Structure 1
Amino acid sequence: MTTCKQALRKKNVFVVIDMSAGISAREVLSGIFKFVNAGCPWTLRLIQLPGESLAATVAGGLEKSVDGLIVTCESDDLSNRMIAAATDVPAVFVDVRNDLFEGRGRRTAFVRNDNESVGAAAAGYLASLGDFNAFGFVPDIDGRPWSTLREQAFRRTLERRGRVVRTFDGGSKHPAEDLSRMVAWLRTLPKPAALMAAYDFRATQVCEACACAGFRMPGQVALIGVDNDELLCTSVTPALSSVRPDHVREGWLGAVELDRLFRLGRRAARREVFCRISGIVERESTRPGPPAAALIRRAIAFIDANVHSNLRVTDVAANLGVSRRLLERRFREIRGETINDCILARRLAVVKRLLKTTRRSCAKIAVECGFPNANYLSHLFARKTGLSMRAWRARYGKNA
């Protein structure tokens, strides 16, 4: 454990924080206090945004021998002031972009969430829950870098598993317009769908959109946020699952880095420290599905195993030991499609695979996939894909 070196006088440390940022800001501050309360001889001065004049406060502090800064929020005023007047003051930036402080030399450190591990963890968790027909990401409206990093890692992780990720690109700062666009986007996703929102408050907006669109959670849409803000996560129905970054450790590491800068003086090199997540908190928005969801998974497994035969809806229901009416109702509730739609979609997926990877004739493929004849399959394929089987093979086949 790192401890502070005793000094002849207490260090004057300014902590710049935006308390309106919610639980993340409070937990970062808690980590800083934890370090100081362990016996560190610092005097802390909090600069709370947006209420205080940041530039004026920092300028006044410099005249009174401020020894160091811990900055936990972004501000153009702050970046300009730091570059112009505070280059020599040791400073640690917690979850702040590097490019805002390019003018600073040594005696600088950056501590931040490993946002890529956040996105990757959410993707791995959702993928482990079952067979979703779609995965999606809902970013921060302002497109901030941490949101982009989370999205990129979320996408990469799922694409390695052969999944496609759809991003909601229609965000608006006008709440009514944002809600309307999100509802429209949700309706385009095949169900069941699994979604990640960039942070918990954005996830509560996704919950509202799902309610407006009439989608049940988690039956039709599973959703996870980031930050584990218990007040937000439990304020909606169903309660939100959330990736839990270790913000307290971030604050602690920020103080550790400032102590390092104090001890090494002008020998202290500029460096960057990443803080990984502490886990995932599972709540109702992603809880494993009810018996109905398990019934659907068994039905799809049976369809996939018998996709080459002349499979009928009654065959599926009989295999599961339930009535056709019940099974049809569950398919519509959970997947938003009929059993026949599902059988057809699985058959066409096999047709595409055979067209892409073999040179078998359309007639042979029709027989192998349980279609009555090649003409029926040809017309159906063209209607569903917009291409003839020959044109599809020419475009996507392995020899294309």
Structure 2
Amino acid sequence: MRKIPHIALLIETSREYGRGLLRGVARYQQEHGPWSIFFEPHGLDDPPPEWLRDWDGDGILARVNSGRMANTILETGLPAVDVRGALPGLGLPFIGVDNRPIAHLAFQHLVDCGLRNFAFCGTPRGENPNQDLRCQYFVELVQSEGSECFTWLGSNTHPTTTTWEEQQQQIASWLRTLPNPVGIMTCHDDRGQQVLDACRRAELVVPDEVAVVSVDNDPYLCNLCTPPLSSIDVNPSRIGYESAALLAKLISGEKPKLSTVLLGPPRGIAARRSTDTLAIDDLEVAAAIRFIREHAVEGIRVSDVIARADRSPSTLERRVKSILGRTIKAEITRVRLARAKLLLSETELSIAKIAARTGFAEAKYFCEVFRKHESTTPTEFRHRFREE
């Protein structure tokens, strides 16, 4: 084997997920390389490059999306890792996201918006295992709460002959049949953008009548939407890093213990205006919850929330718990910790500064609360989720 491994990256750059994978691979090779990288921008559905058939390299990282691409990679006989997971039984080790916590995060986010009607909009079954699992897990969560989950997955019959306009009309027709307000999870940002467009066609107001949360958190696509789309950040950089680490082991002759490795949980949810709603009939409770979410990081206490209400403290506390499933104090803590996790993963602020910016009286108390709820310390959390 050469002193410097030659690695081919067959990963598209058209979406944030692929770019995140590449950032993770870059970080790995900067820390453990150098590698000689063979890379040229391409789309997910592009055919395998002609040079790959006779390429004298050492390993391949690929988003395998077709049998043709899979066969070409397998025919090289080189160590390879799949970071797509679209083809079951491919014969290559796969590293990807764990879809169960992704579905749980989406469901909990919609529940926190006060929603009690739920739906899932995805792609035809069998088209992609990851998207199938997101639908399955989300439906199971809704049903476990005693509710019905409405689904729209398109059709396998003539997917290539259905135009954009026809599909948008189909989604709009489906949306009109749903009870509202309704919270919808979509399988990815592309479908989320379609749902928001279909809401306009169906004359449904987002987020008051329809709240939408998607997956992948592509900032360009999410912010092109009207209104901007809330989305789950699945931390693709970590997947890219771990897949590069696995490829390095394969090149050295080590055999993987598992053919499939699922990494999780997701980094969190980027909440934008598509879910900026509180679908709660009790106006006083809705006002209390909104006050918490707007001011929790300022160090407010339960007494500050109760002081704004006309009801007795016990009545307000009981109604909040009935709607959210947790107490006023627990909701304040949840909002603070959500903000703290975002600051830990995206900034270089010290633990003490993060504690101060999220409403905790002192860093020691912040660390105690964080460990209690997250089963890890703030420093360990930062190390685990930091992208670069």
1:90 pairs with 2:79:
yes
Give the Å deviation of 1:23: 0.9
Matches within 5 A, 1:54-65: 54=48, 56-61=50-55, 64=56
Relative to structure 1, is the Cα distance of residues 18 and 267 closer, same or farther in structure 2, using a 3 angstrom cutoff? closer
Deviations 1:215-268 (A, max 9, x none): 1111111110111111111112221111111111110011011122123x1645
2:20 counterpart (8, 27, 40): 27
CA distance in 2, matches of 1:196, 1:92: 29
1:10 counterpart (4, 7, 17): 4
Matches within 5 A, 1:263-342: 263=252, 265=253, 267-269=255-257, 271-276=259-264, 277-289=266-278, 294-295=282-283
Matching residue's letter, 2:259: R
Relative to structure 1, is the Cα distance of residues 93 and 267 closer, same or farther in structure 2, using a 3 angstrom cutoff? closer
Runs (5+) with no aligned partner, structure 2: 287-309, 311-388
Matching residue's letter, 1:274: L
1:147 pairs with 2:131:
yes
Contact 1:19-1:49 within 8 A present in 2 as well: yes
Please state whether the residue corresponding to 2:224 is helix, strand or coil.
Answer: coil
Please state whether the residue corresponding to 1:41 is helix, strand or coil.
Answer: coil
1:45 pairs with 2:45:
no
Residue 162 of structure 1 aligns with which residue?
146
Give the Å deviation of 1:296: 9.8
Please state whether the residue corresponding to 1:18 is helix, strand or coil.
Answer: coil
TM-score, reference length from structure 2 = 0.66
CA distance in 2, matches of 1:70, 1:169: 30
1:81 counterpart (63, 72, 90): 72
Residue 67 of structure 1 aligns with which residue?
58
1:101 pairs with 2:87:
no
Give the Å deviation of 1:289: 2.7
Give the Å deviation of 1:124: 2.0
Contact 2:234-2:267 within 8 A present in 1 as well: yes
Please state whether the residue corresponding to 2:168 is helix, strand or coil.
Answer: helix
CA distance in 2, matches of 1:296, 1:193: 21
Residue 138 of structure 1 aligns with which residue?
121
Runs (5+) with no aligned partner, structure 1: 1-6, 103-107, 299-320, 322-400
Give the Å deviation of 1:169: 3.7
Give the Å deviation of 1:282: 0.8
Matching residue's letter, 1:19: T
Please state whether the residue corresponding to 1:38 is helix, strand or coil.
Answer: helix
Residue 202 of structure 2 aligns with which residue?
213
Relative to structure 1, is the Cα distance of residues 188 and 116 closer, same or farther in structure 2, using a 3 angstrom cutoff? same
Matching residue's letter, 1:135: F
Identity rate, percent: 27
2:169 counterpart (164, 180, 190): 180
Contact 1:111-1:250 within 8 A present in 2 as well: yes
Matching residue's letter, 1:45: F
Residue 323 of structure 2 aligns with which residue?
none
Contact 1:192-1:220 within 8 A present in 2 as well: yes
CA distance in 1, matches of 2:32, 2:129: 36
Deviations 1:3-31 (A, max 9, x none): xxxx86101111111223x1111111111
Relative to structure 1, is the Cα distance of residues 296 and 183 closer, same or farther in structure 2, using a 3 angstrom cutoff? farther
Contact 2:120-2:150 within 8 A present in 1 as well: yes
Contact 1:28-1:247 within 8 A present in 2 as well: yes
Contact 2:223-2:229 within 8 A present in 1 as well: yes
CA distance in 1, matches of 2:90, 2:40: 19
Matching residue's letter, 1:137: F
Please state whether the residue corresponding to 2:25 is helix, strand or coil.
Answer: helix
Contact 2:95-2:261 within 8 A present in 1 as well: yes
Contact 1:140-1:199 within 8 A present in 2 as well: no
Contact 1:113-1:250 within 8 A present in 2 as well: yes
TM-score, reference length from structure 1 = 0.64
Give the Å deviation of 1:82: 3.1
1:249 counterpart (227, 238, 258): 238
Q: Tell me how many residue pairs correspond in the alignment.
A: 280
Matching residue's letter, 1:240: L
Question: Which of structures 1 and 2 has the bigger CA Rg?
Answer: 1
Contact 2:208-2:277 within 8 A present in 1 as well: no
Relative to structure 1, is the Cα distance of residues 31 and 267 closer, same or farther in structure 2, using a 3 angstrom cutoff? closer
Residue 393 of structure 1 aligns with which residue?
none
Relative to structure 1, is the Cα distance of residues 98 and 184 closer, same or farther in structure 2, using a 3 angstrom cutoff? closer
Please state whether the residue corresponding to 2:96 is helix, strand or coil.
Answer: strand
